[in-house]
Chain A
Amino acid sequence: MSSSLAPATQGAAWRGSSLYTQVMVLTGRSLRSVLLDPKNLLFTLLTPLMMLLLFSQVFANVANTPAFPKGVSYINFLMPATLVTTALSAAMTAGVGFVNDLRNGVLARFRALPINGGSVLAARSLADLVRSAVQLTIMIIAAVALFGFTPKGFGVVGALLLALVVGWGLGWLFLAVATWMRNPETLQMFTFLAMFPLMFGSSAYMPLEGLPTWMRFLASVNPLTYAIDASRELTLQGTISSTAFTSIGISLVIAAAGMVFAARGFRRQ
């Protein structure tokens, strides 16, 4: 006890941990803070379910429009898209967590430790991926049990994985934005501004043919449209096509660009 405050020359010395340990320990820390906040956890799970309920009721008549695929119920049309949009909203919180760490000084502490800055970012991304996986799994189960969602075979697992890849890629984008904006309020406004066109300017709620021309154009360049279309193929037909690979490719490009900018933003002081 007498030497507990003594410098290392007189005690045990730790001079750094492996990258693997860093990422795992930091990921564990982020996940633990999620688990210790049950209210937040509950709302994170309830929000997409509420969206699913509202959209399936409000837009139910879309199923009767001429452009709508024949023989598909609206919930079966909506659910694969909701997987992707939920992964999108999870991606957005990656940046929020980062900015909170920045604001309460935790990041400054990490930067003064002998650890790699990249592992701080990678851990954020990994923790969000785990959280997203749990969230989406619960959603799929709830949609089958409560809303009459009838996926075809195990394609839904593929759709889940696809949504995770897309969310992970976009997460890096929002993480990169967060390292440059560094202000929770601005970040939140940016997030909302980005979220709505990404969600609604896509094939999520309406077949592309049912959208006004300019929005159809927006939707056709929206990476989420590819993800949603591929997710529908997987869940409704149980098949995978080039759309899925295009979507994965886009996500990887977004992730790579996000990583580069996030790393640069992180070092900036």
Chain B
Amino acid sequence: MTELMIDAVRITKKFGKMTALDGVDLQVPKGTVMGLLGHNGAGKTTLVNILSTLTAATSGTARVAGYDVITHGHDVRGRIGLTGQFASVDEQITGLDNLLLIARLLGASPKQARRRAKELLEVFDLTAAGGRKAQTYSGGMRRRLDLASSLVGHPDVIFLDEPTTGLDPSSRNSLWEIVERLVREGTTVLLTTQYLEEADRLADRITVLASGRIVAAGTADQLKGDIGTRTILLTLAHPGDVTVAMDALKRAGLHPSHDVTRRKISSPAGASTDLILAVRALDRAGVMVTELGISEPSLDDVYLALNHDPKADADNANAVTQIIKAISAA
């Protein structure tokens, strides 16, 4: 079994009467990306704050990079990088000075600090802007400087709390590339996001958080396969065939629905044989189609399904937990 860089057990956090986190478990193996997915208020930032030693949990234990976040906070802080939802850079000083400051605080000599700062400015494409006050930076540049600041000390674990919220698509893309490079070079990443696309692209495993509880966990494919449903989609060659086609599909035991504006018929595909059933039924009824296929569920479907029905949430969580147990036991 590989080394766990984040190991949180039954983390609960209460703010007065409000329960922000309710018995959350989170295990992240070294060198992997864990995507923490959830709406605003789901508890993502609270969990990040606990793991990065900024907030103490009400109960539960957590180890990050091998150290307990409560008893060895100082050791944890020396091995993590934190990039928050809002770029936390000192706007009154230059980009270069921001990085020098962090390096010196971490214990680098002035010379080492300068070398490290220049290196990071180059990686993050900020060399030209390094001598300017951070106040003058664009949103994307600020976010890059923020991430660079988190990486000054070569952290083992980096927390990215909604790193691309509010960024334009090209800035988002360049940030993703940097994260991918980080992981290639061995860093462990905990990424919180509201964007399914982001989790799908970057995360090895995804944990879905809703109202402070884990409602699903697994790889993106597992979540899609186990919880989402696939859909048969077909487009009729002759729009006049709608009634005939619908009847034929219903007789075959399917539950089709008709999208009038797009001239398409869709039907949930429970079993993999459903597609064959649909083809046979349509053939027998003499209906011609121009397009026929199965669409995989998107992470959005998963997310919506999980967040709509609290009862279903619990059931799904159980199902997924069992699957994951089975996988990790194997």
Q: CB of A65 within 8 A of chain B? A: no
Interface size class of B (residues with CB under 8 A): 35 or more
The docked-state distance in angstroms from the alpha carbon of A114 to that of B74 is 5
In the complex, are the beta carbons of B88 and A5 less than 8 A apart? no
Chain A nearest CB from B152 CB (Å) reads 8
**Bound Cα distance A136, B232 (Å):** 79
Q: How far is the CA of A114 from the CA of B103 in the complex (A)?
A: 11
B53 in contact (CB, < 8 A): yes
How would residues 1 to 15 of chain A score, 1 for a CB under 8 Å from any chain B CB and 0 otherwise? 111111111111111
In contact, A108 and B88 (Cβ under 8 angstroms): yes
A108 to B54, CA, bound (A): 8
What sequence of 0s and 1s flags, for each residue 31-54 of chain B, a beta carbon within 8 Å of any chain A beta carbon? 000000000000000000100111
A145, B296: Cα distance in complex, Å? 82
Which of A10, A37, A113 is in CB contact (< 8 Å) with B106?
Answer: A113
The answer to whether A21 touches B104, judged by C-beta atoms less than 8 angstroms apart, is: yes
A152 within 8 A of B: no
Given the complex of chains A and B, what is the CA–CA distance between A47 and B311 in angstroms? 65
Determine whether the beta carbon of B182 is less than 8 Å from that of A32. Answer: no
Known: A5-B123, A7-B154, A108-B88. A29 touches B101 (CB 8 A): yes
Q: Given that A8-B156, A36-B93 are known contacts, is A17 also in contact with B105, CB under 8 Å in the complex?
A: yes
Contacts of B291-308 to chain A: CB distance below 8 A:
none
CB of B203 within 8 A of chain A? no
Residues of chain A contacted by B101 (CB below 8 angstroms): 25-26, 29
| B178 CB contacts on chain A under 8 angstroms | 5
Type the 1/0 row for B300-322, where 1 means its CB is closer than 8 Å to any CB of A: 00000000000000000000000
Task: Compute how far the CA of A137 lies from the CA of B221 in the bound complex, rounded to whole angstroms.
Answer: 69
User: Which B residues touch A16, using CB under 8 A?
Assistant: 74, 78, 106-107
Check A113–B77 contact: CB distance below 8 A: yes
Q: Shortest Cβ distance from A42 into chain B, in angstroms?
A: 16
B153 at the A interface (CB under 8 A): yes
Decide if B80 touches A3 in the complex (CB within 8 Å). Answer: no
Contact B153 A14 (CB under 8 A): yes
Judged by a CB distance under 8 angstroms, whether A76 is at the interface is no
Q: Given A105-B84, A105-B86: A33 and B93 within 8 A (CB)?
A: yes
A88 to B103, CA, bound (A): 34
Beyond A10-B186, A269-B54, whether A4 also contacts B120 by CB under 8 A is: yes
Q: Report the bound CA distance from A32 to B104 in whole Å.
A: 15
- Is A112 a contact of B77 with CB atoms below 8 Å? yes
- Taken together as a complex, chains A and B put the C-alpha atoms of A114 and B106 apart, in Å, by 7
Chain B residue with Cβ nearest A120 = B105
CB distance from B72 to the nearest CB of A (A): 11
User: Known contacts A5-B123, A5-B185; is A113 also within 8 Å of B55 by CB?
Assistant: no
Residue of B53, B91, B93, B151 with most chain A CB atoms under a 10 A cut-off: B93
A225 in the interface, Cβ–Cβ < 8 Å?
no
- CB–CB A106/B89 < 8 A: yes
Asked whether A26 lies within 8 Å of B105 as measured between CB atoms, the reply is: yes
B102 at the interface (CB under 8 A from A): yes
Interface status of A264 (Cβ within 8 A of chain B): no
Which of A5, A108, A113 interacts with B105 by CB under 8 Å?
A113
> B106 to A111, Cβ gap below 8 A?
no
Whether A104 is near chain B, meaning CB under 8 Å from some CB there, is yes
Interface assignment of A115: CB less than 8 Å from any CB of chain B: yes
CA distance A6 to B187 in the complex (A): 6
* A2 surroundings in chain B (CB, below 8 A): 185
What separation, in Å, do the CA atoms of A9 and B119 have in the docked complex? 18
**A67→B77 CA distance, assembly (Å):** 62
Q: List 22 A-B contacts (CB under 8 A).
A: A5-B151, A6-B186, A7-B154, A7-B186, A12-B116, A13-B153, A14-B106, A21-B104, A21-B107, A25-B105, A26-B101, A101-B90, A104-B88, A104-B91, A105-B86, A112-B54, A112-B77, A112-B80, A113-B105, A114-B75, A115-B105, A269-B49
Seen from chain A, the residues whose Cβ lies within 8 Å of a Cβ on chain B are: 1-17, 21-22, 25-26, 29, 32-33, 36-37, 101, 104-106, 108-115, 269
Which 4 A-B pairs give the minimum distances between C-beta atoms?
Answer: A105-B88, A33-B92, A8-B154, A14-B107
